[in-house]
Structure 1
Amino acid sequence: MTITPFATLAAFKTLLAGACGPDTAARAAAEERNGQLTKPPGALGRLEDLAIWYGSWRGTGRPAIKAPQVIVFAGNHGVTAQGVSAFPAEVTEQMVLNFQHGGAAINQLSKTFGAKMDVYALSLDRPTADFTQGPAMSEEELVEALLTGWNAVDASTDLLVTGEMGIGNTTSAAAIAHALFGGEPGDWVGRGTGVDDAGVALKTRVVADGLAQNPKARGNGAEALRCLGGRELAAMAGAIARARVDRIPVIIDGFICSAAAACLHQMSDTALDHAVAGHNSAEAAHGRVLSALGKEPLLSLGMRLGEGSGAALAIGILQGAVACHSGMATFAEAGVANG
Structure 2
Amino acid sequence: MAFIKEESEDLRIEEVFSLKHEETEEQRKKEESEDLKIEEVFSLKHEETEEQTDMMEVKEETEVLHKMEKKDKYNHYDLITREKSFSCSQPEKTGEVRSRFTCQQCGKSFSQEAHLKEHMRIHTGDKPYICQQCGNRFTRKLSLNRHMRIHTGEKPYMCTQCGKSFNQKGHYEEHMRIHIGENPFICQQCGNRFSQKGSLQRHMRIHTGDKLYVCQQCGNRFTRKGSLITHMRIHIGDKPYSCQQCGNRFTRKGSLKTHLRVHTGEKPYMCTQCGKSFIQKGHYEEHKRIHIGDKPYICQQCGNSFTRKVSLNRHMRVHT
Which of the pair has more CA radius of gyration?
2
TM-score in same-fold range (> 0.5): no
TM-score, with structure 1 as normaliser: 0.18
Greater per-residue helix proportion:
1
Higher relative contact order (CA 8 A, sep 6+): 1
TM-score, with structure 2 as normaliser: 0.18
Greater per-residue strand proportion:
2
